[in-house]
Amino acid sequence: MSELQIENISMRFDLPNGTHVQALKNVSMTLKEGEIMSVLGPSGCGKTTLLNIVAGFLAPTEGRIVLGGKPIKGPAPERGMVFQKGALFEWMNVRENVDFGPRMKGMPKKQRDEISDHLLEVVGLRDFKEKAVYELSGGMQQRVALARCLANEPDVILMDEPLGALDALTREKMQGLVLKLWKETGKTIILITHSVEEALLLGERLVVMAPRPGRIHKEYNLPFAEMGV
Residues 6+ apart with CB under 8 A from 158: 51, 54, 55, 79, 80, 81, 82, 189, 190
Q: Which of 4, 10, 47, 119 binds ligand ADP (CB under 6 A)?
A: 47
SS3 101: helix
30 in contact with ligand ADP (CB under 6 A): no
Contact pattern from residue 92 through residue 131 relative to ligand ADP, giving x for each residue in contact according to CB under 6 A and a dash for the rest:
----------------------------------------
Q: Which of 27, 88, 119, 140 binds ligand ADP (CB under 6 A)?
A: 140
Strand partners, 7: 64
60 in contact with ligand ADP (CB under 6 A): no
State the nearest-atom distance from the C-beta of 83 to ligand ADP, in Å.
Answer: 12
- Upper half-sphere CA count for residue 182 (Cβ side, 13 Å): 28
Closer to ligand ADP by Cβ: residue 46 or 203: 46
With vertex at residue 34, the alpha carbon angle to CA 33 and CA 35, rounded to the nearest 5 degrees, is: 95
Closer to ligand ADP by Cβ: residue 96 or 161: 161
Contact 123, 147 (CB under 8 A): yes
In the range 158-217, which residues lie near ligand ADP by CB under 6 A?
170, 173, 212
49 in contact with ligand ADP (CB under 6 A): yes
Q: Which of 5, 21, 176, 210 binds ligand ADP (CB under 6 A)?
A: 21
State which amino acid sits at residue 86: G
Q: Which of 135, 197, 219, 226 binds ligand ADP (CB under 6 A)?
A: 135
With vertex at residue 23, the alpha carbon angle to CA 19 and CA 25, rounded to the nearest 5 degrees, is: 115
d(C-alpha 63, C-alpha 66), whole Å: 10
State the nearest-atom distance from the C-beta of 183 to ligand ADP, in Å.
Answer: 19
State the nearest-atom distance from the C-beta of 165 to ligand ADP, in Å.
Answer: 11
Residues in the chain: 229
44 in contact with ligand ADP (CB under 6 A): yes
48 in contact with ligand ADP (CB under 6 A): yes
d(C-alpha 124, C-alpha 140), whole Å: 9
Radius of gyration of the chain (CA): 18
Footprint of ligand ADP (CB under 6 A): 13, 21, 23, 41, 43-49, 135-137, 139-140, 170, 173, 212
